[in-house]
């Protein structure tokens, strides 16, 4: 009987954690950047990105993503897309 009681409490605890994520608006997906930061893409390659504080410009060799095409979570639509293209120093796609 004790075994079933522990299992029931474990299940309730897991359901409570899941409900807390849903209510708080959090997701279980890995965010690209932390709060107070935005992602930037490396110029000249398909790989390479960084996170920059909101109040700073991208460092040399990086550009901002176009508005509406910013990756927010690992492996989301835009994260996958930007890993397949190369951009120039103006953020223009140069190669698919």
- Per-domain boundaries in the chain: 1-28, 37-95
Average pLDDT, integer, range 62-77:
97
Whole-prediction pTM = 0.69
Name the nearest CA neighbour of 78 among 27, 34, 23, 40: 40
Distances (CA, A) of 65 to 47, 70, 76, 86, 96: 14, 5, 14, 12, 16
End-to-end CA distance of the chain: 61
Find all residues with CB under 8 Å of 92, minimum gap 6, and list them: none
Predicted pLDDT at 95:
72
Q: What is the pLDDT of residues 12-68, one digit of tens each?
A: 455 555 555 554 455 567 999 999 999 999 999 999 999 999 999 999 999 999 999
- Contact (Cβ atoms closer than 8 angstroms) between residue 56 and residue 49: no
How far is the C-alpha of 96 from the C-alpha of 34, rounded, in Å?
Answer: 28
């Amino acid at each position: 009987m004790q075994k079933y009681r522990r299992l029931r409490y474990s299940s309730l605890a897991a359901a409570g954690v899941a409900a807390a994520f849903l209510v708080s608006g959090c997701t279980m997906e890995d965010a690209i950047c932390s709060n107070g930061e935005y992602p930037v893409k490396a110029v000249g390659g398909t790989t390479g990105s960084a996170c920059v504080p909101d109040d700073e410009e991208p460092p040399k060799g990086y550009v901002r993503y176009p508005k509406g095409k910013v990756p927010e979570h690992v492996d989301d639509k835009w994260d996958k897309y930007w890993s397949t293209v190369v951009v120039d120093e103006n953020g223009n796609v140069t190669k698919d």
